[in-house]
Amino acid sequence: MIEVRRLVKRFGLKTVLRGLDFQVQPGEFVALLGPNGAGKTTFLRILACLSRPNLGEVSIAGCRLPGQAAAVRMRLGVVSHLPLLYGDLTAEENLRFFARMYGLRQPEKRIAEVLGLVGLAPRRRDLTRTFSRGMQQRLAIGRAVLHDPDLMLLDEPYTGLDQDACAMLDTLLGQVAARGRTLVMASHDLERAAGMASRLDVLSRGVITASARCDEMDPSQVQAFYRQATEAPRGA
């Protein structure tokens, strides 16, 4: 599903990604861990066709980036820590706009289903700018799953969510994974990531420094795994 080789991303004189290699098979749920400033958001933005690398190769579902970005976007669902919604549109109107972009058939049925899924059906006709931060994030999650994408990219998706909304997202991501979809989620929550993902990858100093399958790791080992991966010399 995802194949990344020797990826380099620079901002001026600062190199954020330093020859990163990364592979994800269809149906995998990969949690991308790493300290602040490690480049997780930058990397996800490249996968989401929102930024271009300086060097390296990126392929998603057989499509090369950036040349085939349009085809990739149709298969992506993206959730970032910023909702990025249209504040002067209602919840329904936001989803209707994106439904048209994705060419959905019978969009009204799917919009009603998604609003119910994220707990916003009672507020469907309210302007998004009147929503709380958590409600906006709920709607952004609804937008990401609206077209039933093959691949979901999630950058700290729990930001701003209360306990009930976190539980909703846990359930939703579990359902998406159970349907054989592919997920890559950047997170600082080691316990939650280990409990949900099938694989943990640690991004540190611009490269993947460690990778482990969750079914082969005892939950008590996650903190030590992460600490070792972020402290190890590059290339270890």
Task: Give the pLDDT band (50/70/90) at residue 236.
Answer: very low
> What's the domain range around 126?
87-148
| Cα separation, 32 vs 54, whole angstroms | 21
The average pLDDT across 74-80 equals 93
Q: Which residue among 100, 122, 148 closes a domain? A: 148
Q: Kindly state whether residues 65 and 130 are assigned to the same domain.
A: no
pLDDT tens per residue, range 93-107: 999 999 999 999 889
The average pLDDT across 38-60 equals 96
Question: Do the Cβ atoms of 230 and 204 come closer than 8 Å?
Answer: yes
The average pLDDT across 142-154 equals 96
Q: Kindly state whether residues 157 and 213 are assigned to the same domain.
A: yes
Task: Give the pLDDT band (50/70/90) at residue 164.
Answer: very high
Q: Is residue 236 part of a domain?
A: no
Q: Kindly state whether residues 35 and 120 are assigned to the same domain.
A: no
Describe the strand order of the beta sheet including 29-33 as a list of residue ranges.
Answer: 76-79, 151-155, 182-186, 29-33, 199-204, 207-213
Q: Is residue 81 part of a domain?
A: no
Q: How many domains does the chain have?
A: 2
What is the secondary structure of the chain as a DSSP string?
-EEEEEEEEEETTEEEEEEEEEEE-TT-EEEEE--TTSSHHHHHHHHTTSS--SEEEEEETTEEETTTHHHHHTTEEEE-SS----TTSBHHHHHHHHHHHTT-SSHHHHHHHHHHHTT-GGGTTSBGGGS-HHHHHHHHHHHHHTT--SEEEEESTTTT--HHHHHHHHHHHHHHHHTT-EEEEE-S-HHHHHHH-SEEEEEETTEEEEEEEGGGS-GGGHHHHHHHHHHSPTT-
**Which residues, 6+ apart, have CB-to-CB distance to 63 below 8 Å?**
71, 72
Q: Crossing angle, helix 133-145 and helix 107-117, to 10 degrees? A: 140
Q: Kindly state whether residues 154 and 217 are assigned to the same domain.
A: yes
Q: Is residue 80 part of a domain?
A: no
pLDDT tens per residue, range 178-228: 999 999 999 999 999 999 999 999 999 999 999 999 999 998 999 999 999
The average pLDDT across 20-28 equals 97
Name the percent of the chain lying above pLDDT 90.
Answer: 91
Question: Do the Cβ atoms of 155 and 2 come closer than 8 Å?
Answer: no
Q: Kindly state whether residues 137 and 156 are assigned to the same domain.
A: no
Residue 37 has pLDDT above 50, yes or no: yes
- Quote the pTM value: 0.92
